[in-house]
Amino acid sequence: MAGVPPLPPPVLALLLGALLGLCGLPLPWSVLSIFPLSGVLAYAASARTTEGVPGRLFWSGVGYFTVHLWWLTAFLGKLFSFPPAGVLAFALFILEGLFLAVMAYPLARLVRSPVARVWALAGGWVVLEWTRFLGPLSFPWPTLGYTLLPTPAIQIADLGGVLLGSVLVAGTAAALAGAWLGGWNLDKQGRGRPVVLAAVCWAAALAYGLTRTAGEGPVQPMLVLRTDFDSFGRAVGSLTAGEQLQVQREASARRSPGEILVWSETALTAPATEAVLPEFPGPGISGLGVPPTQTEKEQNTVVAIDAGGQITARNRKAKLVPFGEYFVLYDSILRPAYGLIENIIGFRLPAVEPARSIAPLILNGVQYGAYICYDSVFPWVARSLTRQGAQLLVNPSNDGWYDGWGVQQHFMMGRVRAIENRRWLVRSVNKGVAGAVNDLGQAVHVISSGETTQALSVRPLLLSGRTLFNRLGDWPALLLALGMIGYGVRVDRREGR
- Angle, nearest 10°, between helix axes 52-68 and 34-45? 150
The total number of structural domains that make up the chain: 3
Q: Are residues 242 and 204 in the same domain?
A: no
The Cα 197–Cα 175 span in angstroms is: 9
Q: Are residues 327 and 391 in the same domain?
A: no
Strand, coil or helix: what is 350? coil
Exposure string (b/e) for 149-163, b if CB count within 10 Å is 16 or more?
bbbbbbbbbbbbbbb
Which pLDDT score is estimated for 257? 94
Residue 54 belongs to domain spanning: 9-213+473-496
The helix (run of H) or strand (run of E) holding residue 18 is helix 9-21
Q: Are 478 and 133 in contact, with CB atoms under 8 Å apart?
A: no
Q: Is residue 2 part of a domain?
A: no
Q: Is residue 439 part of a domain?
A: yes
The DSSP result for 132-156, as a single string, is TTSSTT------GGGGGTTSGGGGG
Q: Are residues 90 and 148 in the same domain?
A: yes
Q: Checking DSSP bridges between strand 284-290 and strand 299-305, what pairing results, if any?
A: antiparallel
Q: Are 77 and 85 in contact, with CB atoms under 8 Å apart?
A: yes
Q: Checking DSSP bridges between strand 299-305 and strand 425-430, what pairing results, if any?
A: unpaired
The Cα 170–Cα 320 span in angstroms is: 29
Q: Checking DSSP bridges between strand 392-398 and strand 260-262, what pairing results, if any?
A: unpaired
Q: Where are the alpha helices (DSSP H) in 146-261?
A: 157-181, 192-210, 231-236, 241-252
The Cα 159–Cα 469 span in angstroms is: 5
The Cα 268–Cα 262 span in angstroms is: 12
Q: Are residues 45 and 154 in the same domain?
A: yes
Q: Are residues 293 and 386 in the same domain?
A: yes
Q: Are residues 233 and 133 in the same domain?
A: no
**Dihedral (C-alpha) 368, 369, 372, 377: value to the nearest 10 degrees?**
-150
- Angle, nearest 10°, between helix axes 89-110 and 71-79? 140
**Within 13 Å and on the Cβ side, how many CA atoms surround 131?**
12
Q: Are residues 392 and 309 in the same domain?
A: yes
Compute the chain's Rg from CA coordinates: 24
Q: Is residue 311 part of a domain?
A: yes
Which pLDDT score is estimated for 1? 43
Q: Mean pLDDT in runs of 10 for the chain (497 residues)?
A: 74 98 96 98 97 98 98 89 89 97 98 97 99 94 97 99 99 96 64 90 99 98 97 84 94 96 97 93 97 88 97 96 86 84 83 92 98 98 98 97 92 99 98 98 96 97 98 98 98 82
Q: Are residues 28 and 169 in the same domain?
A: yes
Q: Is residue 270 part of a domain?
A: yes
Q: Are 262 and 426 in contact, with CB atoms under 8 Å apart?
A: yes
Q: Are residues 246 and 293 in the same domain?
A: yes
Its pTM stands at: 0.94
Which pLDDT score is estimated for 236? 78
Q: Are residues 150 and 291 in the same domain?
A: no
Q: Are 150 and 133 in contact, with CB atoms under 8 Å apart?
A: no
* DSSP-assigned beta bridge partners for residue 437: 425, 443
